[in-house]
Structure 1
């Protein structure tokens, strides 16, 4: 979104303030040109700008003179909260032209807010979609012994323990690579050392 902007700066001791930009718009100054009204002079008109409350701290933008340099391209942006004044010395008025555009920082903040709102909405939907267990399901889950279908504290399921006992019973100490073969039967990424250790733990129970 953008819109045309224009301002006439007249010579004199009194500065010409920049009108307040609408909303969160940035004013982009693109050109300064000698005004066609009034008597043109070969003497230069010096355009300068001050930003902030100190109007004595000025920065020259261009020197314009009839028949020599009657317009000058500029590319300078002013934020919505900046206090800007234009100053002109010489005999000829100067026309400033440019346009308004949206502040990029404002767009970024709005986009971040939208993303946060979307994430919060999705999290809420996920929470609401999670089914609440019935009293019967809750009681059954509480009564289920550790290791019955899900890993217990040691990371062994009931099925893995059953496979461990069966494979260990089918071998003995004389079997070459006994625990490597047992681990192969148990599966689930269990190492031979883990199988050997857990088998001893089961025997101690």
Structure 2
């Protein structure tokens, strides 16, 4: 038991130091407004119970995945996908794409944030071997001019519902040493927050969504 706790603390320390170093070298990086709103909201959580990471880019077998926020606690690990869309939002849990309607009849399609977050969770499991039941998915919309027009799961929220939703999970499902180990592993694996990392991720997404690649996947 002592060995397990010690190894978890070592993993956390190494990961935290590397993560801190990466953050110190990210002066030019700018996050979008929606993510900044969520960062501000997450500061309301009790720091003695929750550990928050923001803008985490992790390596995958094919490229990278970018996670907006992760909140760690003994009550679960909350993986948050943030959206700043306004207007009417239509989408179902298993729809591949959702639709945004704006004034004037304009409409836009965007990739389902629920499916995005499923992929994020799979990648976290691959890196940490954390049990899937400890990971909780959240999709949060920050724009007060947004309105859901279809029935959605309870984990799709407006920003003013976020803190209450996280705090409602009040049963311990993750022991403290495993939580520390998971934090350390993700801090260790995450890429430096920088314009270069962001560019690399965008290039990977564009490559993945190219017509040639789409045809290959069909």
- The bucket for the TM-score relative to the shorter chain is under 0.3
**TM-score with structure 2 setting the length:** 0.18
Judging by fraction of residues, say which structure has more helix. 2
